[in-house]
A and B are shown apart, each in its own frame.
Chain A
Amino acid sequence: MTDDMADVVREFLGESRENLDQIDLDLVALENSPEDGSIVARIFRAIHTVKGTCGFLGFTRLEAVSHAGENVLSALRDEEIAPTPMMTTVLLAMVDVIRGLLTQIETTGEEGQGDYSVLIEQLTMLYRGGTPALGSDAAPAPATAAPEPPAAAPEPTPVAAPLPPVAAPTPAAPPLLSPAAAPAHEAAPAAESPAGETSIRVDVALLDKLMNLVGELVLARNQILQLTGRTGDATVISATQALNLITSELQEGVMKTRMQPIGNIWNKFPRVVRDLARSCDKRVELVMEGESTELDKTLIEAIKDPLTHLVRNAVDHGIELPDRRVAAGKPAQGRLLLRAFHEGGQVNIEVTDDGAGLDAERIRDKAIERGLLTVDQAARMTEREMFRLIFLPGFSTAPKITNVSGRGVGMDVVRTNIERIGGTIDLQGTKGAGTTIKIKIPLTLAIIPALVVASGDNRYAIPQASLLELIRLEGEEAVTAVEMLYGTPVYRLRGKLLPLVYLGDALGQPAPAGLGDPAGGDPPREPEVHIVVLRADDRQFGLVVESVHDTEEIVVKPLGKHLKGVPVFAGATIMGDGKVALILDVLGLAKRSRVIAESQERARLDHAVAVATVDGDDQQTMLLFRSPDDGRMAIPLSRVARLEEFPRTMLERVGHELLVQYRGEIMPVVELASLVPERRTAPRAAATPATPAPDDTGPVQVVVFSHDGAHIGLVVEQILDIVEDSLANPRPPGRPGVLGAVVIAGRVTELLDVEAVLRRAQPGAAWAEASAAAAADELATREAGHGA
C-alpha cells in the first residue's frame, strides 16, 4: 500500500468509526421513537458512506456486510418495512462486525478471512421480510421492547425455511458474531490506537483562543524571567527555567495545532495547470516537492491567491509552446516545479519553470516605454534589478493580453500580498532556461522574534524578519563614520553607501543635538552610534537608534482604531516589565523616511538617488520642472517627499488657501505661479505655445514636501526629469521665490526656494523660517565654496 493509500485508509477508518458511533446511538434512539424518519435517514446515510468508501478501497467483505445493512435501512427509510427490536439487534450486530473489520484493517491492512455470511443472510432476510406479514407482527413490538427474543423467534417463522439458523442467532447474537468480533475485541485494548481516537475535530476559534492564551503566558513568562534575573535564589531560578522551557514547548505545541501542510492548497494546482496548459496548447508536467511542509493556517490562506497567480503565470508566460521548446532543444513537455521547505525559521516556497525565462531586454524596453526608467538609467542597471521591475504596479511584459494574465495587474499584487504577511519575494532566471520565483514567509504571525531598541523614553520592537545586521560605532568612528550627503546621513557599509534614518527623527521626536545638519558640518556627537541594518522591500537602510536591547519573542497585538492611521507601527506588544512597546513596521518606516518612494516614481527616484550617491557628493540630484513662464526650475530631490498627481477637481479653495485631501489629512497646496512673479511679457506668452493652458479637469502634478509630519504640496506645470549635476557658479536670484540660477543639464535653471513654498503654505511657522535661514546659509556656503 502506498503512503497516499495509507492516508486515505486512515482517514476512512477515522471517519467510519465516528459514523459507527453515531449509528449505535441512532439505532438505540430509533427503538425509542420508531416513527422518527430522520433517524433512519441518518443511519442510512452513514452506512451508505461506509459502504461507498470501502467499495472504493477494495474491502469486499466489509462492502458486502454494509451493503446488506444498507438494503435493510433503505427499506426502512422508504417505509417498506417497520423497525422491530430484532432488526435493531441485527443492525447493531452489523455495526460490531464492521467495527471489528475496521480494527482488523488497521492492524493488518487486510480484511482477514472472517465469514460473515450468516449475518448477511439475516440482514437479507430482514430486508426481504419487509412483507405485510412481518410488518403486522412488528407493530406491537416497539411497545414491548424488552421481551424481544420470544417475539423475535416466531416472527420469521412463516417466512421461509431458513428459520432455524435465523431464529437461533437472535437470542444468541453475540456468540454468532464471535468469529469476527472476538479478534476485534482482543485487538482493541492491545493496539489502543485506533485512528478514530487519535484525531479529533477542533473549532478553529478555540485554537485561536488557545493561541492568545499562550501569547499571554509567553508575556507572563518574560516578566518572570526578568524578575528572577534580579534575585539570586537558586530554587526560584530553577523553577523559572522549568517554566521557561515548558512555556516554549507549549507555545510550539499550540502553534503546531494551527499548522497545515502546504499541500492543502497545492492539491488544486494539478487541475489548474492541466486546464490552463490545455487552453494554451501547451504540455506541462507539474512536480511538487515538500507538500507536507507546514505553516500557519492564516498564512496558508494568505498565500493561496499569490501562489495561484504565480502558477498560472508560469504556465501562461513561462513555458513555451511545444514546437518552440523542441526547436530550442528542450523536451516538448514543460516542467513546473513547486517546492516548499523550512529554512531558518521561515518557510521557503519556490515556483520554478523551465520555460523561456525572463527577457531582461524586453523588461527594460517596456520600463523605458512606460517612463519608469530613462535610457541612461536602464543602461546602468544590473540584470537582477531589471527583473525586479516586474514587481512595479502596472508592469506586464506579456506581448498580448490573454484571459489568464498580461493585464499588468499581477506581480505587484503578489508582492504586496506576500509582504503583507512579512514575507519576501525574489526572482531569478536565465533567458531561455526558465524562471525561479522564491518566496520566504514566516511560520506564524502571532508570536514573532523581535529586536528591542530604544529611542527617547520609548522602546520599540523590530521584527527579526527584516533585520539584517547590527553595527556599533564607538569612539572616533562614531564621529567620523557617519557622513552627510547633502543633508542625508549615510554610512559606508562594506564600501557601499547605506542611507541612515534616525529613529527619533522618523518618529517626529527631537533628535539629539548635532544630528541632521544639512550642511554636513556637524557629525553626530554621541560617543556611540547603533545602526540597525534593515531590509525593506529590496532595499537596505540603517536605522540609527539610541540603544539596542535584547531579542525577544513578542506577542503581536493589534492597535486600536485610533492608531490605525499611523503607518510606521505594525502593532504593539507588552514587554517583560508590563509596559507597552510599539512594533515598528519597517516598510512603513522606510516609506516615511523616503528610503523607498511610493508607486511608479519608485524606480525613477531611487535609481536617480542611487546614481547620485555613487557619483559622490559634489553632484546633486535635482528634480526639474517647468516654470509657469516656460523656463526650467529645479529643487534638490532630497527635499521632495513624493511626486503626486491629483485631478484638478480635488483641489479645493477654502478662504485664501488651496487644499487637497491627501492620505487622510488636509494638505495645503501652493501654486508655483502664485509664488514666483511672472517674468515674461504678455506678447511673449502669447507667442509661446509650448505651455499648454492648465486643463480645468485634467490632472495636476504636485511635488509634496514634508516636515514634522505635515505635508505641503506645490503645483507645478510639468515635471520634466530627475538629473544629477553639480550646482556650480550660481547666479544671484533674479526674482523673489528663487535662490539663484545655475546650469543644469546644459540649460539655465532657476533654483526654487523650497522654504518660500513652505512659508507660503504655513505663514509664520517657526520651523519654516528657521530652515529658510539655514538653506540661505547653505547656498551662501556653496557659493563661497565654488567661488574659491
Chain B
Amino acid sequence: MAREQFCTFFVRGLFLGLEVTCIQEVIRYQPLTVVPLTPPVIAGLMNLRGQIVTAIDLRHRLGLPPRGADERPINVVVRTPDGAVSLLVDEIGDVIEVGDDSFERPPETLTDDARALIRGAYKLKGRLLLVLDAARTLDSEAAN
C-alpha cells in the first residue's frame, strides 16, 4: 500500500490537501498589491524575498463566497514550472500521511466548479480530505 504525504489546509470549512512535494513553503499573511484589470481570482502580487509571486484566491477559484474583510488568508506557495504561485487559504492544517486504500474519486454529484479541481477524497477518520489538482487549480486560462 502506497502512502502519500499531503499538506492540508482549510477553505471555508473544506478540508483540502496538496501533495507535499509541490509545496514550496507556507507563510503567514503578506500585504498584496492588487493588479487592476485582472479577474477577481487573482488576489494580487506579493514580495517573496525579492521574488514577485502571484497570489490566487482559492475561495474564488473554488466558487466559494469571499473572505470577510477582517479574515487574513495564509499563503500556500506552490512550485510550478513557471515559478512560484501562492494560493490563499483560510487556515493551515498539518502535513498528514495517508494510504491510497482510502482514496476515492469524487462523486458525480459534485458541482462542475469543484469537479474540475478536486481529484478525489481520502476517507479519514471522521472527515474527508479533498485533494486538489495543483496544475488545474493554477491553470491561468481556466482561472481567468
Interface residues of A (CB under 8 A from B): 216, 219, 457-458, 507-509, 557, 559-566, 568-569, 572, 574, 578-582, 709
Evaluate contact between B47 and A560: CB separation under 8 angstroms. no
In the complex with contacts A216-B50, A574-B50, A565-B144 CB distance below 8 A: yes
Evaluate contact between A507 and B52: CB separation under 8 angstroms. no
Evaluate contact between A562 and B42: CB separation under 8 angstroms. yes
Bound Cα distance from A582 to B44, whole angstroms: 11
Asked if B53 is at the interface of the complex by the 8 Å CB criterion, the answer is yes
Bound Cα distance from A565 to B38, whole angstroms: 9
What are 24 A-to-B residue pairs whose CB atoms are below 8 Å?
A216-B50, A219-B50, A458-B33, A458-B34, A507-B37, A557-B51, A559-B52, A560-B52, A560-B53, A560-B54, A560-B83, A562-B56, A562-B143, A562-B144, A563-B42, A563-B54, A566-B38, A568-B36, A569-B35, A572-B45, A579-B47, A580-B32, A580-B44, A582-B35
- Chain B: residues with Cβ within 8 Å of the partner, total of 25
Which of chain B's residues have a CB closer than 8 A to the CB of A574?
47, 50, 52
Which of chain A's residues have a CB closer than 8 A to the CB of B56?
562
Which of B31, B36, B53, B54 has its CB near the most chain A CB atoms (within 10 A)?
Answer: B36
Asked if B82 is at the interface of the complex by the 8 Å CB criterion, the answer is yes
B60-101 residues at the A interface, CB under 8 angstroms = 82-83, 85
Bound Cα distance from A574 to B50, whole angstroms: 7
Which of B31, B46, B52, B56 has its CB near the most chain A CB atoms (within 10 A)?
Answer: B52
| Closest B residue to A503 using CB positions | B36
Asked if B24 is at the interface of the complex by the 8 Å CB criterion, the answer is no
Nearest-Cβ distance from residue A506 to partner chain B, whole angstroms:
9
Nearest-Cβ distance from residue B144 to partner chain A, whole angstroms:
7
Evaluate contact between A580 and B47: CB separation under 8 angstroms. yes
Bound Cα distance from A581 to B44, whole angstroms: 11
Nearest-Cβ distance from residue B136 to partner chain A, whole angstroms:
14
| Closest B residue to A578 using CB positions | B47
| Closest A residue to B44 using CB positions | A580
Evaluate contact between A508 and B37: CB separation under 8 angstroms. yes
In the complex with contacts A216-B50, A559-B52, A579-B31 CB distance below 8 A: yes
Nearest-Cβ distance from residue B81 to partner chain A, whole angstroms:
10
Which of chain B's residues have a CB closer than 8 A to the CB of A562?
38, 42, 54, 56, 85, 140, 143-144
Evaluate contact between B45 and A580: CB separation under 8 angstroms. yes
| Closest B residue to A215 using CB positions | B50
Nearest-Cβ distance from residue A284 to partner chain B, whole angstroms:
48
Which of chain A's residues have a CB closer than 8 A to the CB of B34?
457-458
Nearest-Cβ distance from residue B20 to partner chain A, whole angstroms:
23
Which of A509, A560, A568, A574 has its CB near the most chain B CB atoms (within 10 A)?
Answer: A560
| Closest A residue to B49 using CB positions | A216
Evaluate contact between A580 and B82: CB separation under 8 angstroms. no
Pick from A457, A565, A580, A709: contact of B52, CB under 8 Å: A580
Evaluate contact between A508 and B144: CB separation under 8 angstroms. no
Which of chain A's residues have a CB closer than 8 A to the CB of B44?
580
Which of A509, A565, A580 has its CB near the most chain B CB atoms (within 10 A)?
Answer: A580
Evaluate contact between A557 and B85: CB separation under 8 angstroms. no
Bound Cα distance from A457 to B44, whole angstroms: 13
| Closest A residue to B46 using CB positions | A580
Bound Cα distance from A565 to B39, whole angstroms: 11
Which of chain B's residues have a CB closer than 8 A to the CB of A561?
82, 140
Nearest-Cβ distance from residue A460 to partner chain B, whole angstroms:
9
Bound Cα distance from A569 to B33, whole angstroms: 13
Which of chain B's residues have a CB closer than 8 A to the CB of A560?
52-54, 82-83, 85
Q: Which 5 A-B pairs have the closest CB atoms?
A: A507-B36, A580-B33, A560-B54, A580-B45, A562-B140
Interface residues of B (CB under 8 A from A): 31-38, 42, 44-47, 50-54, 56, 82-83, 85, 140, 143-144
Which of chain A's residues have a CB closer than 8 A to the CB of B85?
560, 562
Which of chain B's residues have a CB closer than 8 A to the CB of A508?
36-37
Tally of A-B Cβ pairs under 8 angstroms = 67
Nearest-Cβ distance from residue A210 to partner chain B, whole angstroms:
15
Which of chain B's residues have a CB closer than 8 A to the CB of A457?
34
Bound Cα distance from A582 to B53, whole angstroms: 12
Bound Cα distance from A509 to B52, whole angstroms: 23
Bound Cα distance from A557 to B36, whole angstroms: 18
| Closest B residue to A509 using CB positions | B36
Which of chain A's residues have a CB closer than 8 A to the CB of B143?
562
Bound Cα distance from A561 to B42, whole angstroms: 11
Nearest-Cβ distance from residue A459 to partner chain B, whole angstroms:
8
Bound Cα distance from A158 to B60, whole angstroms: 95
Nearest-Cβ distance from residue B45 to partner chain A, whole angstroms:
4
Nearest-Cβ distance from residue B121 to partner chain A, whole angstroms:
28
Evaluate contact between B47 and A563: CB separation under 8 angstroms. no
Which of chain B's residues have a CB closer than 8 A to the CB of A564?
140
Nearest-Cβ distance from residue B32 to partner chain A, whole angstroms:
8
Bound Cα distance from A580 to B51, whole angstroms: 10
Known: A458-B33, A563-B42, A578-B47. 4 other contacts (CB 8 A): A560-B52, A560-B85, A572-B52, A580-B46
Which of chain A's residues have a CB closer than 8 A to the CB of B47?
574, 578-580
Bound Cα distance from A700 to B66, whole angstroms: 42
Which of chain A's residues have a CB closer than 8 A to the CB of B32?
580
| Closest A residue to B53 using CB positions | A560
Bound Cα distance from A630 to B142, whole angstroms: 43
Bound Cα distance from A565 to B141, whole angstroms: 10
Which of chain A's residues have a CB closer than 8 A to the CB of B53?
560
Bound Cα distance from A574 to B33, whole angstroms: 10
Which of chain B's residues have a CB closer than 8 A to the CB of A578?
47
Nearest-Cβ distance from residue B87 to partner chain A, whole angstroms:
12
Which of chain A's residues have a CB closer than 8 A to the CB of B52?
557, 559-560, 572, 574, 580
Which of chain B's residues have a CB closer than 8 A to the CB of A557?
51-52
Bound Cα distance from A559 to B51, whole angstroms: 10
Evaluate contact between B140 and A582: CB separation under 8 angstroms. no
| Closest B residue to A504 using CB positions | B36
Which of chain A's residues have a CB closer than 8 A to the CB of B36?
458, 507-509, 568
Nearest-Cβ distance from residue A560 to partner chain B, whole angstroms:
4
Bound Cα distance from A560 to B45, whole angstroms: 9
In the complex with contacts A572-B45, A572-B52, A582-B37 CB distance below 8 A: no
Evaluate contact between A563 and B38: CB separation under 8 angstroms. yes
Which of B31, B35, B51, B82 has its CB near the most chain A CB atoms (within 10 A)?
Answer: B35
Nearest-Cβ distance from residue A418 to partner chain B, whole angstroms:
26
In the complex with contacts A559-B52, A560-B83, A574-B50, A568-B45 CB distance below 8 A: no
Nearest-Cβ distance from residue B139 to partner chain A, whole angstroms:
9
| Closest A residue to B143 using CB positions | A562
Which of chain B's residues have a CB closer than 8 A to the CB of A568?
36-37
Nearest-Cβ distance from residue A663 to partner chain B, whole angstroms:
12
Nearest-Cβ distance from residue B28 to partner chain A, whole angstroms:
15
Bound Cα distance from A580 to B44, whole angstroms: 9
In the complex with contacts A557-B52, A561-B82, A566-B37 CB distance below 8 A: yes
Bound Cα distance from A561 to B142, whole angstroms: 12
Bound Cα distance from A360 to B44, whole angstroms: 49
| Closest A residue to B51 using CB positions | A557
Nearest-Cβ distance from residue B102 to partner chain A, whole angstroms:
34
Which of chain A's residues have a CB closer than 8 A to the CB of B35?
563, 566, 569, 582
Which of A219, A559, A574 has its CB near the most chain B CB atoms (within 10 A)?
Answer: A574
Bound Cα distance from A566 to B42, whole angstroms: 12
In the complex with contacts A560-B83, A565-B144, A579-B37 CB distance below 8 A: no
Bound Cα distance from A582 to B54, whole angstroms: 12
Bound Cα distance from A219 to B47, whole angstroms: 12
Which of chain A's residues have a CB closer than 8 A to the CB of B38?
562-563, 566
| Closest B residue to A592 using CB positions | B37
Nearest-Cβ distance from residue B135 to partner chain A, whole angstroms:
13
Nearest-Cβ distance from residue B14 to partner chain A, whole angstroms:
23
Bound Cα distance from A448 to B45, whole angstroms: 21
Nearest-Cβ distance from residue A503 to partner chain B, whole angstroms:
9
Bound Cα distance from A457 to B50, whole angstroms: 21
Nearest-Cβ distance from residue B141 to partner chain A, whole angstroms:
9
Nearest-Cβ distance from residue A247 to partner chain B, whole angstroms:
15
| Closest B residue to A507 using CB positions | B36
Which of chain B's residues have a CB closer than 8 A to the CB of A559?
45, 52, 54
Which of chain B's residues have a CB closer than 8 A to the CB of A566?
35, 37-38
